[in-house]
Amino acid sequence: MRVLTATFAFNEGEKIRRTLARHPSARSYDLLVLDDGSTDGAVSDVDGGVIVLRNERNLGIGASMKRVFEYALENGYEVLVIQAGNDKDDPLEIPALLAPIVSGVADFVQGSRYLGGGGFGNMPKYRVLGTRVIHPVVFSIAARKRVTESTNGFRAFRTALLRDGRINWRQAWLDRYELEPYLLLKAITLGYRHCEVPVTKIYPRLRLVEHSPAGRLSWIGNQKMITATRVPFVDLRVQHAALAASIEPAIREVCEHGDFILGAAVARFEAEYATYIGTRHAIGVASGLDAIELALRAHDIGPGDEVITVANTFIATVLAILAAGARPVLVDASAESYNLDAAAVAAAITPRTRAIVPVHLYGQPADLDAITALARRHNLVMIEDAAQAHGSRYKGRRIGLFGHAAAFSFYPSKNLGAYGDGGMVVTNDDRVAEKVRLLRNCGQRVKYYHSVVGTNSRLDTLQAAILRVKLPHLDTWNAARRQHAAAYSSRLPSHVHTPATLPDVEHVFHLYVIETDRRDALQESLTARNIQTGIHYPVPIHLQEACVHLGYKAGEFPVTERAAQRILSLPMYPELSPDQIDYVVEAVNG
């Protein structure tokens, strides 16, 4: 996808130089500056990698944009990003503007200072009143769609809009500031997919002379404000902005119906998720932890039983086994995949073993052939912990089809995440499905008639409505994650151990986890460069204070313990941009 970013200058002085300088040197778009008849010479010596167009005299912003539009169409650009040249827009937010278009869910993306996560710095109060209240209200009425921003020129859109004869942007009356709201209004009213993403605008507190020491200090302060945390570990705001136009009506529908507990959206999402996985049943519950617990209880696993799982996992896996009343038996991980080591499972089976819980850690399926064979040989129940593996496959089949049941989490940062906690049990066993439905709803089939000792663990209708909107995008998001992982793996240095993808699996890279001898130093270095990272997990289960009673000692699981000292998770989410990946790779290599 060819992208052109255009910025505009009319006697902007140092501001246009700083605007251009803050664009990454390695970027996924072409950069153009249009000099609208400036007399200050500020654009006379720009970097050779920047395209420069010049008007002989000042024509106005609308006329200048029209010239850029013509240039973009003539040169085959598919997407155009518009940015002011007055040093108030942050070029490092361009990936957020592009993400909804690249992912195929928007045609016009408007940067908004007034969405959560956006900002307008020291904007004068009278301008806040106009741009935050008056203009959006008037524009929303005209567009028949609620918007939070209509005057900010920081935006991205498909150039296909410019070829639409119904959008007559060449009219002479649009040569000034009228062109920007005109284009936005036409895009919305003609049915183009529109969304907003949060952006920041910086307004300096004082009008200082640019070349004075005080002016330089003001610039440094503003630069620090603008560039804080440029590569987040996960960016949930970008995904919401791309889907907000679909999610908000779904939430509104639930509120209008008032069926907040086990409402219609829950049943619909359960059916859709079961179809996606390929099972007969999917039962929504309150969390991934509850999904494992209820799946175990539905198989009558409890006190006196042993359940084998891996020491290298999030503690919820073990807490679920404990909640069911059984004893967790931990085994070490495979050094290659960090997943359950099948040979270690075989060695841990005793007459009290009732179940195995393999964890598909980081989005990669465990060695299911070997583990399934062990479960069958010893007549054991197998519950897949698929909390991090939505959509992954093993030998062509979806994860969730291999065990007696599987448990998924919809924690917000998961590959398929809700706007709060949520979980799902999937199974082909009718009896197990019926029992999970009983257990999740206080043990009742009919209200106030309780046949078993259940619990309160129901997927909220609001969360189900949101997940229904997201589910059709899951495979596309997973493909983007794999693409990002390949970009990382092909370019990270040899002293960093990159994750291995095992044969016959389709990894979905919930996390991209590297291993290095200098983990802590590397994490500190990345943090200093505004790159967020994580450690999954810093303290193994058997060394957690909460699990002391299990009786394990340091040294019992060497692979897991070594990993805890060396692993580091790099930023990973579908909307991650090539520029952000370039920046992370450069920082790790440095």
21: confidence class by pLDDT, cuts 50, 70, 90: confident
Angle (nearest 5°) at CA 228 between 149 and 534: 115
pLDDT given at position 205: 40
Provide the pairing of β-strand 3-9 with 30-36. parallel
Determine the CATH number of domain 3-228: 3.90.550.10
For 443, half-sphere exposure in the C-beta direction (CA atoms, 13 angstrom radius) is 8
Strands (DSSP E) found in 17-121: 30-36, 51-55, 79-84, 108-112
Residue 240 has pLDDT above 90, yes or no: no
Cα 494 to Cα 581: distance, rounded to the nearest angstrom? 17
**Structure tokens of 43?**
């654009």
Residue 46 has pLDDT above 50, yes or no: yes
Cα 158 to Cα 169: distance, rounded to the nearest angstrom? 14
Residue 215 has pLDDT above 60, yes or no: no
pLDDT given at position 47: 76
The four Cα atoms 156, 161, 163, 169 give a dihedral, to 10 degrees, of -90
Cα 454 to Cα 439: distance, rounded to the nearest angstrom? 4
Rounded to an integer, the average pLDDT of 290-296 is 98
Residue 201 has pLDDT above 90, yes or no: no
Cα 430 to Cα 433: distance, rounded to the nearest angstrom? 5
Cα 448 to Cα 435: distance, rounded to the nearest angstrom? 17
Cα 542 to Cα 400: distance, rounded to the nearest angstrom? 27
Residue type, 478: N
pLDDT given at position 48: 73
Beta sheet of 281-285, edge-to-edge order: 281-285, 423-427, 405-409, 381-385, 353-357, 306-310, 327-331
Beta bridge pairs of residue 571: none
Lookup result for tokens 């949930």: 236
Q: Work out the burial of residue 327: count CB atoms within 10 Å of its CB; fewer than 13 is exposed, 13-18 middle, 19 or more buried.
A: middle
pLDDT given at position 123: 58
The DSSP result for 504-567, as a single string, is TEE---SSEEEE-TTHHHHHHHHHHTTB--B-S-SS-GGGSGGGGGG---TTSSHHHHHHHHHE
pLDDT given at position 498: 97
pLDDT given at position 558: 97
pLDDT given at position 553: 96
Assigned CATH topology for domain 262-468 = Aspartate Aminotransferase; domain 2 (3.40.640)
25: confidence class by pLDDT, cuts 50, 70, 90: confident
pLDDT given at position 185: 94
Domain ranges for the chain, please list them: 3-228, 262-468, 474-589
105: confidence class by pLDDT, cuts 50, 70, 90: confident
pLDDT given at position 579: 80
pLDDT given at position 210: 36
For domain 474-589, the CATH architecture is Alpha-Beta Complex (3.90)
* pLDDT-above-70 percentage for the chain: 93
pLDDT given at position 502: 93
pLDDT given at position 580: 87
Q: Which of 87, 10, 4 is nearest to 56 (CA)?
A: 10
pLDDT tens figures, 360-369? 999 999 999 9
Provide the pairing of β-strand 353-357 with 306-310. parallel
**Structure tokens of 410?**
């919809």
Rounded to an integer, the average pLDDT of 92-113 is 88
pLDDT given at position 219: 32
**Structure tokens of 133?**
């209240």
Q: Residue length, the chain?
A: 590
Q: What is the residue-averaged pLDDT of the chain?
A: 90
In three-state form (DSSP H/G/I as H, E/B as E, the rest C), the secondary structure along 439-490 is HHECCEEECCEECCCCCECCCEHHHHHHHHHHHHHHHHHHHHHHHHHHHHHH
pLDDT given at position 125: 66
Q: Whole-model pTM?
A: 0.71
pLDDT tens figures, 310-338? 999 999 999 999 999 999 999 999 999 99
